[in-house]
Amino acid sequence: MLVQIGTLIAATSVVQLANGFFNTFLSLRLTTESFGPTLTGIVLSAYFIGFSAGAVGSGRIIQRIGHIRAYAAFAGMVVVGTAGMAIFVSPLGWILCRMAIGIGCVGLFITTESWLNAKAPPDQRGRIFSIYMVGTFLALAAGQLLIGSLPIASMTPFFIIIALFALALMMVSATRAEAPALPAEASLPYGELTRQAPVSVLGCVVSGIVTSAFYALVPAWMARNEIPQETIALFMLVAVLGGFAFQVPVGKVSDRGDRRVVLAGLAIGFSAAALLIQLVPPRLAFVLPVAALLGGFMSTLYPVSVAHALDRMPQDRVVAVSGRLILVSGIGSALGPILGAQVMGQLDINGLLYFMAAATVALAAVAGLRIRHRAPPEQMAERPFAIIDPLAAPISQEPEATDADGTPRPLPA
């Protein structure tokens, strides 16, 4: 099993190391360019536009050319896009390159996780995905540490990102493991998911908006206010680690009751933390704990929303539901930096925090209304909460294959 998936998990951790660094670095780098608030927001949103587009078509590419060649193609797209940003420093060039990077990144994540789903034995799948997500969060956190020691205005960060993605490509291309075949997926008509689980759909949109706005715009604001890079890196690191620390406790609570209640509580908690960070004294001893709360509440909105949707939908549509939620989350993520940049341009950082707080309060209100009008689904334990990084938006576990008589059939080896 280590031969089959160990290299894949290590390579994805390298990808997330590059991704965590890239997102914060670009936010800071844009403060040195004269693009203006609107173009800055579009550049930051372009990644999520590409991410959403790639979520729609990546599965077909993987099925047509296989996992290893698809991984190589997606990684190559990210490398080309990153190199293009270093060469063509212009709003249009960066928008196109960030879209290509978004398509490549979502392709890497879907390739990796469909591979893990197929290779992991059912009795080890939860443990393997826990290892995978631990590696993901630790790599995202380590990416923030790179920010404090690198010159943002130079080409060095681009070269580091290219090297990390190329290293991941080398690791997967050289693996001895045989890639699996993808099972067929059940279709999901548009509109059905919204009818069955509207709170989940709204939760994924709001999660995308606040997460992308936070990671894209908060570091930029801190840089414009001449806060040292080391402090920015520490703040973002604490936010990521706060998200990691919240996953298991929130997951346990979510699995024991109505997930909509948990989702409403997380939304209210995030809005309260967004308001609190404006009130505490501007010293690290006060700001960092609130940053951990912000990261914690923010990072658990998406997985709880996904788990609630899976409670409402048939087992044979698990993958289709996950893909659709990736798409709606990507739409929210694309809107977040654009709307947030406009608000912050008019009202500074307080306006951005009010904007994110208002979005989560609206989510809590909708969840409360649905709780009053519809009972929670039964047998939620069959679809447990899973640790999910909202910036990566991984796909969920694939349904178990069955023969015509309903007898379980082993996943492809």
350-361 in b/e burial notation, b at 16+ Cβ within 10 A? eebbbbbbebbb
Give the whole-number percent of the chain exceeding pLDDT 70: 81
Contact call for residues 259 and 376 (beta carbons, < 8 A)? yes
> CB-based contacts of 121: which residues, under 8 Å, 6+ apart?
1
Tell me how far the alpha carbon of residue 254 is from its chain's centroid: 20
pLDDT single digits (tens) 206-239: 999 999 999 888 988 888 888 888 898 899 999 9
- Residue 86, C-beta contacts closer than 8 angstroms, at least 6 positions apart: 155, 158, 159
- Can you give the pLDDT at residue 117? 66
In order, the DSSP letters of 239-300 are: HHHHHHHHHHHHHHHHHHS-HHHHHHHHHHHHHHHHHHTTTS-SSHHHHHHHHHHHHHHHHH
The secondary structure of residue 317, as a DSSP letter, is: G
Per-residue pLDDT, 326: 79
pLDDT: which is higher, 174 or 275: 275
Q: How far apart, in Å, are the Cα atoms of 380 and each of 41, 178, 252?
A: 39, 34, 12
Average the pLDDT over each of 115-129, 286-300, 395-409 and give the range with the smallest value: 395-409
pLDDT tens digits along 280-315? 988 899 999 999 999 999 988 988 888 888 787 776
- Tens-digit pLDDT profile for residues 52-108: 888 888 878 887 888 888 889 999 999 999 999 999 889 999 999 999 999 999 888
Beta-bridge partner residues of 408: 402
Q: How far apart are CA 114 and CA 201, in angstroms?
A: 23
Please write the tens of the pLDDT for every residue from 150-184: 888 889 999 999 999 999 889 888 777 666 665 55
CA neighbor of 203 nearest in space, from 266, 291, 252, 137? 266
Q: DSSP class of residue 370?
A: H
Closest CA to 392 of 162, 104, 57, 170: 104
Which of the four pLDDT bands, split at 50, 70 and 90, describes residue 406?
very low
